[in-house]
């Protein structure tokens, strides 16, 4: 899953990007408010980590413009001030959660996982589809209790489909979530990846809808 990190403090941004990368996400970073607004308005991100104190355009203004334009990705807002009135204003503007600075990276990851789960309609920490269980915290996949070893890309594809279980995810949307903004994408990369995941899982849970995309149903047998 692609995450946009909007933070003008380069040290914090570096630490956040490294933490997200180790956790299996693809992280894009932008420190300028106007550039960040443009990226969020034109690219498909699974979630955004948004600092509210930014140059050229502050985070609240960015968030209000995204929501006004119909951008529905979950947003975890960061601030160095953290007053209750600012938190209320941020949530009213469309933030899904709030994290005051300074913060621990473990808490940032936990809050990010939670807002992503809730955006997909999942309250429980683990996602389940029939015999398949995916644990985002441990980055583990099991089928009927048996662990399955997936590559980072295979894990990202499966977790995105499970997050959006019951919905047909178009191939181009999956491709956006599997690759960084500067990576070269082969035209059949998603199809090949889906085939590999099916073989490794050993169960037929990913359904192909020709011309539309792929789906996993939560009540899969």
Within 8 A by CB and 6+ apart from 187, the residues are none
- Is the pLDDT reported for residue 132 higher than 90? yes
Q: What number is the average pLDDT over the span 128-144? A: 92
CB 203 within 8 A of CB 131: yes
Assign 27 a pLDDT band (cuts: 50, 70, 90): very high
| CA-CA-CA-CA dihedral for 205, 210, 213, 214, to nearest 10 | 0
Q: Helix, strand or coil for residue 6? A: strand
Place of tokens 């600092």: 51
Q: Using alpha carbons, select from 186, 192, 220 the residue that is nearest to residue 206.
A: 220
Q: What number is the average pLDDT over the span 116-143? A: 89
Q: Using alpha carbons, select from 107, 49, 138, 97 the residue that is nearest to residue 127.
A: 138
Residues forming CATH 3.40.50.2300 domain(s) in the chain:
2-119
CATH topology for 127-215 is: Arc Repressor Mutant, subunit A (1.10.10)
**What pLDDT, on the 0 to 100 scale, is given for residue 187?**
63
pLDDT tens digits for 140-177? 999 999 999 999 999 999 999 999 988 999 998 888 88
Q: What number is the average pLDDT over the span 86-92? A: 78
* CATH class of domain segment(s) 2-119: alpha beta
Residues forming CATH 1.10.10.10 domain(s) in the chain:
127-215
Q: What number is the average pLDDT over the span 51-72? A: 92
Q: Using alpha carbons, select from 50, 37, 72, 41 the residue that is nearest to residue 5.
A: 50
Sheet of strand 2-6: strand arrangement: 26-30, 2-6, 47-51, 75-79, 97-100
């Amino acid at each position: 899953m692609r995450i946009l990190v909007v933070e003008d403090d380069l040290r914090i941004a570096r630490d956040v990007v490294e933490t997200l990368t180790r956790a299996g996400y693809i992280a894009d970073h932008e420190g300028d408010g106007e550039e960040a607004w443009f990226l969020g308005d034109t690219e498909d991100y699974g979630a955004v980590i948004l600092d509210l104190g930014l140059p050229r355009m502050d985070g609240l203004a960015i968030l209000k413009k995204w929501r006004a334009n119909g951008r529905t990705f979950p947003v975890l807002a960061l601030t160095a001030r953290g007053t209750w009135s600012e938190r209320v204003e941020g949530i009213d503007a469309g933030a899904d959660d709030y994290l005051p600075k300074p913060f621990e990276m473990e808490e940032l990851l936990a809050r990010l996982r939670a807002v992503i789960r809730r955006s997909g309609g999942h309250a429980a920490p683990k996602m389940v589809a029939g015999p398949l269980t995916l644990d985002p915290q441990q980055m583990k996949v099991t089928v009927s209790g048996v662990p399955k070893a997936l590559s980072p890309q295979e894990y990202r594809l499966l977790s995105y489909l499970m997050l959006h279980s019951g919905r047909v995810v178009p191939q181009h949307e999956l491709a956006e979530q599997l690759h960084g903004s500067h990576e070269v994408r082969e035209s059949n990369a998603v199809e090949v990846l889906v085939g590999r995941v099916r073989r490794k899982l050993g169960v037929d849970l990913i359904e192909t809808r020709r011309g539309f995309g792929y789906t996993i149903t939560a009540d899969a047998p």
